[in-house]
Structure 1
Amino acid sequence: MLGALSAAQAQTNNETEAQAQAANGGVFTLGEITVLAPSQDVNLSTSSVLSQQTMQEHRAQTVSEALNLVPGVNAAYAGARGEQLFYVRGFDRLQVPVYVDGIPTYVPYDGRIDLGHFTTFDLSRLEVAKGFSSLIYGPNALGGAVNLITRRPVKAFEGEVGGGIGLSRDGNANEYRAYTNLGGKQEQWWYQVGASYIKRDSFDLPSSFEPNNVQQGKGERENSRRQDKKINVKLGLTPNATDEYVVGIVRQEGEKGQPTYAGSLPLTGSGSGMRARWWQWPQWDKTSFFFTSQTEVTNQLTLRTRLYHDKFENMLVGYDYRNGVVGNVGSGFPSYYDDDTTGFSVEGDWRVADRNLLRLAYHYKDDVHRSSDDGTPWSHFKDRTQSLALENSYEFNDGLSVVAGVSYNERKSITARNYGTNAGSPTRPSLYDEPKGSNHAVNYQFGVFQSLGQDGQWGQLRASVASKSRFATMMERYSTRFGQVIPNPDLKSERARHYEIGYSATLLNDWTIDTALFRSDVKDSIQNVTVPSDQCKASTCDQPQNVGRARHEGLELGLQGSVGAWDLSGNYTWLRRKNLSNPALRPTDTPRQKLFASARWNYGPWHVTGSTEASSKRYSSSNGAQVAHGFAIYHLKGGYRFVNGTQIDAGVRNLGDKLYSYSEGYPLAGRNFFVNVNVPF
């Protein structure tokens, strides 16, 4: 669907578009998961698409930065852990899973994926499915899905090299980046290699920031260093025109520091203030092995498979920290994670008739978590999740399509060995077995899509309803939070029912519009409830329970097109979230209103792009007492493209040096500059 800065419409200059396609390569279509119209293979899902060209145009180096360009999506920041997050129509990273070429990627224990570690240089496109997302994705897509689709070569040899530097407000170099993509397509095989490196020494705060006892200077943000390396290798066999078999490996190595809280609340060890933290991650490493294939069994039946093994290794070090002074390694640190996921999926597409496509998918995966704090014995958890999905697309005629689907999902706890104190050993920590639990959920959805006018010249209307679920994570079920939380192995899945009506069209002079009205009713949300207990260290404890009810409703509007030498685009989101089970508890981290707009001026090989991001206020603490105020920031970039396709860009971000934040107390970068170069071949 339209509504994002899409692949086909973000650039109208034919010569520039051809050069960009040559540099970016093709789309790895085996990585796509879509809802298709049977006879036309048109994507019917309510998804937004970003091309690699658009991500480069707006210097979206990480997936979180790219997602912030999409209507209905807002970037967020987990201040206590320094993580780049996102929300899709109010649903967070646990409720909207992230996939790489259709394969789920996450941290098995707690789902706390940090998209700041995921760079965009090796992607061909990014797709965001909202609400009515294909059931073929598998379990846990309660609020939608984000699919990162990598590249596939289209020529015998192609590639690019690029890089750049970032400069602080005072012109000091503080960020360095380099990347390359190489690929080649032969008659019966192909290869694709991508590598990237980003290092940031720090970032500078806006000049209006007032120092305090934590952030004692007006310039460099303390403990804001980060570094990420990534390599992505794929080898594909294409024995004929319909079949394809691909093996690949992705290796990511990351490290970062977490800037501490610098807001208005007092820093404390516990209680009503903000906890004083000085944390660093010297290791955030992820390795993924995968095999994916497509085989045309008959003219009517196509099989696709995905097999994968992910390994996640993480080390967190916390230091004693008081009055701006960093001390020794704190008690309980270092903390180690050693997680892995092994799974596979099988999907069959059966063209029952010319206008009827039936899709069946089975998913299986084992998630394993191992952890140790400061040399303690390793805890060990293992979950097994399975899913069976059926999705049918039927065209009544050239203009009217309907899609219906149902899935059954099941999660079982196979191993649950924890470390700490329990009722059997209330004073001496030890390894012990937690009760195992299981849960199942049935999902369903139904959508109607009607083209207007001859060949859809007046656009398309759509209406859908979807009921989706998400299983509780290992952390939600078993974490004791140092004896302050009672585990709940029998937590049920969260549920949401989505309703949407929308309209999209290509209007006069290739202007495109996409708009949607949506509502989601959420029940059985997992929230901590205070309960009396003699099984923890305090007189009362918390326990996660399925007690929450909420409602999300809103409007999305996307518009883009060209006027003379100008390419214009923008999107607006209005979102209202209500906590129905506890109205006094305000939803956090999402603004009521968000606007993104950009204008690009083309003059021969020269181009200039200006853009703005504006947001209303958002609440930032669990009780809604703290507010990250609304803001508007502006970016400006100019560049030149040589005849051979080489492009040099220079620009400034946060042009007005605005003091702003996504989460109160964690201010983001002030005015900063950059220079980039990209050389395709």
Structure 2
Amino acid sequence: MPRGRVFPGPSLLAAGLLAACPASAQTVEAAMPLALPDEAFITVTAPVLPGRVATPLVGLKAEALLDRQPRSIGDALRGLPGVAIRTNSRGETSPRVRGGEERQTLVFLDGAPLAVPWDGRIDLGLIPAGIIGSLSVRKGAGAIEYGANAVAGAVDLQSRRSGAVAQAQAGPFGMANLSGAAALSLGDLDVTLGVAHQAQDALVVARTSALPFSQPPGRRRFNTDLSATSLFGAVGGRAGGLTWRASLLHIDARRGIAPESDRDPAVNAPRYWRYPDWQLTQAQAALELPVGGATARVVAWRQWFGQAILAYRDASYTSLRAREDNDDDTAGARLTLTHAAGPATLRWSLSHSQADHLQTDTQFPAGVPGPVLRYRQTLSSGGVEADVPLGARTGLTLGLGLDRSSNPITGDKPAQPARQAATFSAALKTRLSDTLVLSLSGGRRNRFASARELFGEALGRFAPNPELAPEQVWLADAELVWRTTRLTLTVNPFWTRATGSIGQRLLVVDGRTLRQRFNQGPATSFGLDAALQLPLAAGITLEMTGSALHAEADGQPLPQRPFHEAMLAIDWAPGEAFDARIEARHIGPARDLGPDGRLARLPPATEFNLRTRLPLTRIAGARLSLIGAIDNIGNAVTFTQLGLPLPGRTWRIGLRLGG
């Protein structure tokens, strides 16, 4: 545990809560496993209310999450149109929506932001899928409730609200996946409990020749061990007109980080890092309450985060170069008030958060801890949306707001001025026929640099740049949904233009090559997302999703943005319990920034995955099933970043009770 780190007990967590997200949010429609845009899909953070026009949405319901057997939320998001998942050189699994940067997509759990504000990201590879009842990804100029920094999109995670399921799986090199979650009714209270554990001694190497440096012979990917245990609890209920829910998530993990094995250590050494301690505790609570003729929704959260990073001198992982200890404490709240104003509906939203970051750096061989540096960042957003009916088949939603960021405490770095920027959006939806719906949306959103981008040095890898200005992104979407009794087809062309987007450049400082973040020239992206679901025969469903993307700045392609991604899946469920799913996922070519600062090519790749579920018997009324999964059957070498290929062929087999 990082030095001086103390996590509060349950009584202090309860005292730190103010309110929670409504337990009355509707669940995902059960007709189809893939949640395509639908009025019935109600998300927690920004619910789709009558008359509200929202931007494009994709997601997964509880049934689809079980069938795909993901270990983490990062696994669950793979294959959704317009959503790319990659693991960076810090070992973090992050979403990229339609070519946006990692920090331009916010992640919410039961209505509260889950990212660690210091870094502006959360590692989705450590968020267990077993406690989640459904998830969705909102793309484009999203709702006002998402606040500042939700530029490219927002991932909404909703904890389990019904049923119970437990499963245990094992795989190669010590891989284990254990999880259990149950939603119970105890009188007037609804209670959810969940526990999960994932572990591995090493990931599987697809081809050792693809890893020329910092990788010993054999199928075990060097320094990729993992152990993560998660606990989750929630309670909610109703009291008169009040609906309330409070929840708590705790994750305790330790892991190794694969070195970038395209780099010659004699020329440009990769990171040789380990995380001996990674802990996140987040409490959130919310309420929904009628107030006169209006409805008030309040969400509050408190997050405690701590990690230790060990940096080694070489691939032996025996000689320490440096240690970094981080402790973060974040509190925030959001108030939304909805009321009628003649034929229109107005929705006012105000959010504020404050995050403190303590950091201690220790250099070796001296081993003497440096000073404790404190940083603070505050984020505030406020605005209003208006839902305006334009006849029986058409609706319009307009939004206007203001975002503000300040860094009142900056460690040993220069003081920073507060920054603010306006945000606005418009969304129009019209039903062209009984089966065809057209939506148009657009607007501008802002992202302020995280404190780590402004001040962080990443154990000597980065030169800080406190002069970073906020990113401003213009977004435009068109979405056409054709839904019949047999099929659902969604086509979504989009366009974005970012000014002041934060990129990386190489600097030579005192003979050392360092990276530095800077506001680069305007970047433009455009492309197309599409999804199709079609029943082929009784019990057989075809799913097709895909994205095409062109993203460039200053005439050069933006790094780590595949030109296209696609998934073809056939799901066979002839009976109530048996299910088999085969997937083909293709990632097109891309570019990445090499250690010399030049763009290098990432080749295309196609992987095949298999999921099965076979019923065995019933225990106390619950179904016991044999479950199995094989990822990357063909052992394809897939690069989403130079030197960090995805794992090779990996299998898992186990049992599931319930679900």
Q: TM-score range by the shorter chain?
A: 0.7 to 0.9
Deviation at 1:244, TM superposition (A): 1.2
Are residue 680 (structure 1) and residue 635 (structure 2) matched? no
- 1:245-324 counterparts in 2 under 5 A? 245-263=244-262, 265-268=263-266, 273-298=267-292, 300-321=293-314, 324=315
Q: Which runs of 4+ in 1 moved over 6 A?
A: 27-30, 481-486, 529-532, 538-543
Are residue 660 (structure 1) and residue 638 (structure 2) matched? yes
**Contact 1:602 1:608 survives alignment (8 Å):** yes
Superposed CA offset, 1:433-469 (max 9, x none)? 622321001000001100122xxx2221011111111
**Inter-partner Cα distance in structure 2 for 1:151 and 1:196:** 13
Aligned amino acid, residue 310 of structure 2: V
Which residue is equivalent to 1:611? 583
Deviation at 1:262, TM superposition (A): 2.1
**Contact 1:261 1:274 survives alignment (8 Å):** no
**Contact 2:33 2:61 survives alignment (8 Å):** no
- Of 591, 607, 610, the residue aligned with 2:562 is 591
**Contact 1:439 1:490 survives alignment (8 Å):** no
**Inter-partner Cα distance in structure 1 for 2:461 and 2:608:** 44
- Of 546, 567, 576, the residue aligned with 2:519 is 546
**Contact 2:53 2:429 survives alignment (8 Å):** no
Describe the SS at the equivalent of 2:358. Answer: strand
Deviation at 1:480, TM superposition (A): 5.2
Which residue is equivalent to 1:436? 416
**Inter-partner Cα distance in structure 2 for 1:225 and 1:486:** 30
Deviation at 1:537, TM superposition (A): 4.6
Which residue is equivalent to 1:200? 200
**Contact 2:120 2:450 survives alignment (8 Å):** yes
Superposed CA offset, 1:170-218 (max 9, x none)? xxx5211111112222453221111111111112212564674521213
- 1:540–1:436 CA distance, 2 compared to 1 (3 A): same
Describe the SS at the equivalent of 1:646. Answer: strand
- 1:337–1:258 CA distance, 2 compared to 1 (3 A): same
- 1:491-640 counterparts in 2 under 5 A? 491-507=468-484, 509-527=485-503, 537=510, 544-564=517-537, 565-580=539-554, 583-584=555-556, 586-604=557-575, 605-621=577-593, 623-640=597-614
- Of 45, 50, 57, the residue aligned with 1:37 is 50
**Contact 1:76 1:662 survives alignment (8 Å):** yes
**Inter-partner Cα distance in structure 2 for 1:451 and 1:246:** 35
Superposed CA offset, 1:49-92 (max 9, x none)? 211221221222212222222101111121x2122122101112
Which residue is equivalent to 2:32? 10
Describe the SS at the equivalent of 2:284. Answer: strand
Aligned amino acid, residue 546 of structure 2: Y
- Of 350, 355, 378, the residue aligned with 2:339 is 350
- 1:446-465 counterparts in 2 under 5 A? 446-453=426-433, 457-465=434-442
**Inter-partner Cα distance in structure 1 for 2:640 and 2:199:** 22
- Of 68, 78, 87, the residue aligned with 1:58 is 68
Which residue is equivalent to 2:167? 162
Deviation at 1:325, TM superposition (A): 3.1
**Inter-partner Cα distance in structure 2 for 1:327 and 1:539:** 23
Aligned residues: 614
Tell me the TM-score normalized by structure 1: 0.85
Deviation at 1:110, TM superposition (A): 2.1
**Inter-partner Cα distance in structure 2 for 1:483 and 1:50:** 40
Deviation at 1:144, TM superposition (A): 1.5
Identity within the alignment, %: 19
Describe the SS at the equivalent of 1:327. Answer: coil
- 1:17-416 counterparts in 2 under 5 A? 31-38=44-51, 44-78=54-88, 80-153=89-162, 158-167=163-172, 174-186=174-186, 188-206=188-206, 209=209, 212-240=212-240, 242-263=241-262, 265-268=263-266, 273-298=267-292, 300-321=293-314, 324-330=315-321, 333-353=322-342, 355-374=343-362, 375-416=369-410
Aligned amino acid, residue 253 of structure 2: G
Aligned amino acid, residue 558 of structure 1: A
**Contact 2:53 2:427 survives alignment (8 Å):** no
**Inter-partner Cα distance in structure 1 for 2:307 and 2:114:** 15
**Inter-partner Cα distance in structure 1 for 2:506 and 2:645:** 32
**Inter-partner Cα distance in structure 2 for 1:254 and 1:198:** 9
Aligned amino acid, residue 325 of structure 1: S
- 1:573–1:226 CA distance, 2 compared to 1 (3 A): same
Aligned amino acid, residue 266 of structure 1: D
Describe the SS at the equivalent of 2:175. Answer: strand
Superposed CA offset, 1:465-513 (max 9, x none)? 1111101111222235678977554532101101111101212x43101
Deviation at 1:28, TM superposition (A): 12
**Inter-partner Cα distance in structure 1 for 2:259 and 2:506:** 28
Deviation at 1:9, TM superposition (A): 4.2
**Inter-partner Cα distance in structure 2 for 1:388 and 1:560:** 38
**Contact 2:211 2:643 survives alignment (8 Å):** no
**Contact 1:32 1:149 survives alignment (8 Å):** no
- Point out where structure 1 has 5 or more consecutive residues left out of the alignment: 1-5, 18-26, 168-172, 419-432
**Contact 1:28 1:124 survives alignment (8 Å):** no
Describe the SS at the equivalent of 1:31. Answer: coil
Aligned amino acid, residue 634 of structure 1: F
Describe the SS at the equivalent of 2:630. Answer: strand
**Inter-partner Cα distance in structure 2 for 1:482 and 1:257:** 16
**Inter-partner Cα distance in structure 1 for 2:213 and 2:512:** 34
Deviation at 1:277, TM superposition (A): 2.9
Deviation at 1:327, TM superposition (A): 2.8
- Point out where structure 2 has 5 or more consecutive residues left out of the alignment: 1-27, 363-368
Deviation at 1:235, TM superposition (A): 1.5
**Contact 1:37 1:395 survives alignment (8 Å):** no
**Contact 1:175 1:200 survives alignment (8 Å):** yes
Deviation at 1:44, TM superposition (A): 3.0
